[in-house]
Amino acid sequence: IWASILGVLPFTLLLPHANLLWTTLLTVVIGLVLASAFSAILVFAQELVPGRTGTISGLFFGFAFGMGGIGAAVLGELADHVGIEAVYRICAWLPAIGLLAWFLPRTSAAARKPSAS
């Protein structure tokens, strides 16, 4: 999971400086790296709330697509005001927000195990 969170950072930082061919290739690599941990993150979230697999999946995908839509609208508005180049440079740093996950509380394996009831 950490590899996907931080693994895209070098590629996204290269994006504003790449031509069209390299932008296309970097975008494919970024997409593959980000998608590689999606299933593991979803399963981890489902283990945190045993017996609510459907609910967690729905919340997970709903939140992901909802934030994607909101993010597109906000970044589009920002691009109208400051220019697409500036937004492109800002977006290159967004994966660095994944570093904040380091400060999240740790969960023990015993706390994630479903009860035998």
Structural domain tally of the chain? Answer: 1
Determine, yes or no, domain membership for 109.
Answer: no
- How far is Cα 66 from Cα 16, in angstroms, rounded to an integer? 26
The model's pTM = 0.67
Residue pLDDT tens, the chain, 117 long? 677 777 888 898 998 899 999 999 999 999 898 888 888 888 888 888 888 889 999 998 999 899 999 999 999 999 999 998 899 899 888 888 877 877 878 776 555 555 544
Determine, yes or no, domain membership for 108.
Answer: no
Determine, yes or no, domain membership for 111.
Answer: no
Write down the pLDDT at residue 117.
Answer: 47
Determine, yes or no, domain membership for 110.
Answer: no
- How far is Cα 101 from Cα 3, in angstroms, rounded to an integer? 12
DSSP conformation letters of 70-95: HHHHHHHHHHHHH-HHHHHHHHHTGG
Domain that holds residue 61: 2-103
How many other C-beta atoms can be found within 10 angstroms of the C-beta atom of residue 85? Answer: 10
Determine, yes or no, domain membership for 113.
Answer: no
- How far is Cα 41 from Cα 36, in angstroms, rounded to an integer? 10
Determine, yes or no, domain membership for 37.
Answer: yes
